[in-house]
Amino acid sequence: MITRSSALLQRPESPSADVKPLSRPSAWQTQLSQAIRDPRELCRRLGLDDSWLPGAEAGHALFEVRVPEAFLARMRYGDPHDPLLRQVLPLIAEGENVPGYVTDPLEEAEYTPGPGLIHKYAGRVLLIASPACAVNCRYCFRRHFPYSDNSPSRAQWERSLDTLRQDTSIHEAILSGGDPLAASDRQLAWLVEHLEAIPHLKRLRLHTRLPVVIPERVDDALSGWLGATRLQKVMVLHINHAQEIDQAVVKACERLRSAGVALLNQSVLLRGVNDSVAALAQLSERLFEAGVLPYYLHVLDPVAGAAHFDVPDEEARELIAGLREVLPGFLLPRLVREIPGETSKTPL
């Protein structure tokens, strides 16, 4: 079972381990700490009948349930096929052993030169800034990731920063996780302050789902450190369905753009969530209305427990062909697969 559920707000060894904790949690931190973590509660709150419980509890034992209230509020009551619920509701199928589906589908263990550091592609390095997520997505390719081995101490962070200082070919630091924005603003401000002091670093990229599942995460503190850095800022949001984008998300996106952040989106093509031309077209339209450009549509990474979300390549290509007929080119996401060992994402 994944171990990232541990204390979101008080990891003892973190970039700011020597900084006193804030006396009061922010509104988003309170929401995070109050997220639903009980599969029975999730089913009850959405009016699902008891037939969903055994699967929900069995899947929860493999990868725990985590759903913030703000995300739950966008789901349709009484509809077990709601596209947002499908992303977070554990099913009995997660326990099936499907050939080809493994715990580390992208072989990230091969590309980890130090704790919390992943170096796969030329010119950019990925930092695991937080082992926690605001929501646990059932299809997540890191659902088995050894976060406990990748939660660096302050001294380890210093070593990772040294690696970046010494390698002048690296121009972009990517904050990932878990969800990097699950870290506190103090932790992130500390990290970014050290990153921007590295002269050859040009860009800061964040991959996050937090502004979507808890839009209040985009508050004054976040806008403050993000807006202040000299680094060019790119945020890649992870949104899979148009129904995820409510007015609060639109507002969060506006604030991010005001802080000088370029907004992109990547989605995963998921059976039962967004596997139709209509759903994908609606998602692209809604993203653009919120000032976000569709970037990637990933096919599913073959992670153990998620095979029931798979859409075959041929069908994925047909969906993109259908999308091309109804959308302008700039709203068409690139259909890609990540293949371990390749120097970039592979177009399909």
Separation of alpha carbons 246 and 20, rounded Å: 35
Residue 203 pairs with which residues in a beta bridge? Answer: 172, 232
Smallest gap from Cβ 130 to ligand SF4, in A, equals 10
Nearer to ligand SF4, 133 or 290 (CB): 133
Nearer to ligand SF4, 196 or 338 (CB): 338
Smallest gap from Cβ 197 to ligand SF4, in A, equals 28
Smallest gap from Cβ 270 to ligand SF4, in A, equals 11
Give the footprint of ligand SF4 on this chain (CB under 6 A).
Answer: 133, 135-137, 140, 142, 177-179, 209, 238
Nearer to ligand SF4, 182 or 253 (CB): 182
Smallest gap from Cβ 35 to ligand SF4, in A, equals 12
Separation of alpha carbons 91 and 137, rounded Å: 12
CB-based contact 346:336 (threshold 8 Å): yes
Nearer to ligand SF4, 135 or 281 (CB): 135
Smallest gap from Cβ 168 to ligand SF4, in A, equals 30
Smallest gap from Cβ 312 to ligand SF4, in A, equals 21
Nearer to ligand SF4, 213 or 280 (CB): 213
Q: Give 51-59 contacts, CB < 8 A, sequence gap 24+.
A: 52/80, 52/89, 54/92, 55/90, 55/91, 55/92, 55/93, 55/94, 56/89, 56/90, 56/91, 57/90, 58/90, 58/92, 58/94, 58/95, 59/89, 59/90, 59/91, 59/92, 59/94, 59/95, 59/138, 59/305
Nearer to ligand SF4, 179 or 310 (CB): 179
Separation of alpha carbons 121 and 171, rounded Å: 11
Separation of alpha carbons 119 and 128, rounded Å: 11
Nearer to ligand SF4, 66 or 198 (CB): 66
A 10 A CB-CB count for 225 gives: 17
Smallest gap from Cβ 67 to ligand SF4, in A, equals 11
Residue 174 pairs with which residues in a beta bridge? Answer: 126, 205
